Amino acid sequence: MSEAQRCPTPDAAPAETISAEAASKVDDCLRTRTRKDFQTSQEVRWCPGCGDHAILTQVQKTLVNLAIPRENLVFVSGIGCSSRFPYYINTYGFHGIHGRAPAIAMGVKCANPELSVWVITGDGDGLSIGTNHLIHCLRRNLDITILLFNNRIYGLTKGQYSPTSEFGKQTKSSPGGTIEQPIRPVQVALASEATFVARTIFADPTHLGQTLEAAARHKGTSFVEILQDCRIFNEGAFRTMTEKAAKEETRILLEHGEPIVFGADKRKGIAERNLAPHIVDLDADGNDESELLVHDVTATSPALAALLASLEPPEFPTALGVFRSVQKPTYDELIMDQIRQFKAARGPGDVDRLLHAGTTWEVR
């Protein structure tokens, strides 16, 4: 991270003793930062037209809006095209090994809960070798933000099918079509009881930016699936959702407290019949808006969110937006509370004393 671009930091002291003038200088610096403050001198080595470029831009803009000192930001990645991310963003970063980014991020957050920790992963990295780490991170509810780039292909290793590739997809590693059912990232996150779950798409910068900021401001584990193109090995994977002529019919933009509608004139909606989703045409006789499901991101049960996450083409449009946003105690807060309780009861720890404490168990 460039030292020249840091905002001034007051001398180390308890927060209540920092002068108003010093605090004001920090606030002024944070308010005047731009996206350029989060760019690095590294050449961005993604292919032209790759969806990763759009995601990088929106993350940098989001960090400007968050006004968090850059020395308090950490980006952790695994392996894959998406995992080059830490090189391209001017904060602290950790390029980990395949699938282990959530585990590294959990360690970083627990070691210093004051840090804003982000995980950058892909459908291959996060949902193949890294699935177990991802699920445990989600269920523990650490206060971190996880972005999963989903292009439904292994791009870095040249076009094999990935865990999210659709059934029957022909690739270099599945010339006859894959016979595996795909993992659905949002449904995995909901099943893991993640407290914030969302989906967005690279081709809608406004929606992407709004979703990223909502995720970053959530207290707890935020999981965002970002649908994106791989121009070389899976171009057009989400074409029907990005083409202007088709997108009104192929995607639902979820809004909390609003009926779930779609279509050019918002005259179609989603209802539930016999515990299954059903498309309602509001212009047809006998149908009205009262039958439509109303979105509620704060529902304790993830049942509605799971139903919406299950909507898939060609039968249904794809839902985009926040599926769930609830508050629960975070793992990092709970672990720090336990540490304080043990210190209060037993005093500060002494590693040397522990190592020389004698036999701690007997084998009989």
Phi and psi at residue 74, to the nearest 5°: -135, 125
Tokens of 333: 């807060």
Cα distance between residue 223 and residue 119, in whole Å: 9
Residue 11's CB: how many other CB atoms inside 10 A? 8
pLDDT digits (tens, 9 = 90+) for 290-301: 999 999 999 999
Q: What pLDDT score does 11 carry?
A: 47
Nearest to 323 by CA among 254, 241, 227: 254
For residues 142-161, give the mean pLDDT: 94
Distance between terminal CA atoms of the chain? 55
Phi and psi at residue 115, to the nearest 5°: -80, 150
Q: What pLDDT score does 22 carry?
A: 56
110 and 332 in contact (C-beta within 8 Å)?
Answer: yes
For residues 195-224, give the mean pLDDT: 98
Label residue 143 by pLDDT band (50, 70, 90).
very high
Of residues 57 and 159, more confidence is placed in: 57
Q: What pLDDT score does 286 carry?
A: 79
pLDDT digits (tens, 9 = 90+) for 97-133: 999 999 999 999 999 999 999 999 999 999 999 999 9
For residues 62-71, give the mean pLDDT: 96
Label residue 196 by pLDDT band (50, 70, 90).
very high
Sign of CA dihedral 64, 66, 215, 116: positive
User: Is the pLDDT at 81 greater than 90, yes or no?
Assistant: yes
Q: Is 323 helix (H, G, I), strand (E, B) or coil?
A: strand
One-letter identity of residue 58: Q
Cα distance between residue 174 and residue 181, in whole Å: 13
**pTM, full prediction:** 0.90
Cβ burial, residue 98 (10 Å; 0-12/13-18/19+): middle
Q: What pLDDT score does 5 carry?
A: 54
Cα distance between residue 309 and residue 316, in whole Å: 11
Residue 346's CB: how many other CB atoms inside 10 A? 8
Q: Domains in the chain and their CATH numbers?
A: 33-237+326-343 (3.40.50.970)
3-class SS shares of the chain: helix, strand, coil, % to 5: 35, 20, 45
Nearest to 272 by CA among 323, 324, 316: 316
Q: What are the C-alpha distances in Å from 308 to residues 2, 31, 124, 187, 234? A: 43, 38, 24, 9, 25
Of residues 20 and 334, more confidence is placed in: 334
Q: Which of 20-24, 79-83, 99-103 has the lowest mean pLDDT?
A: 20-24
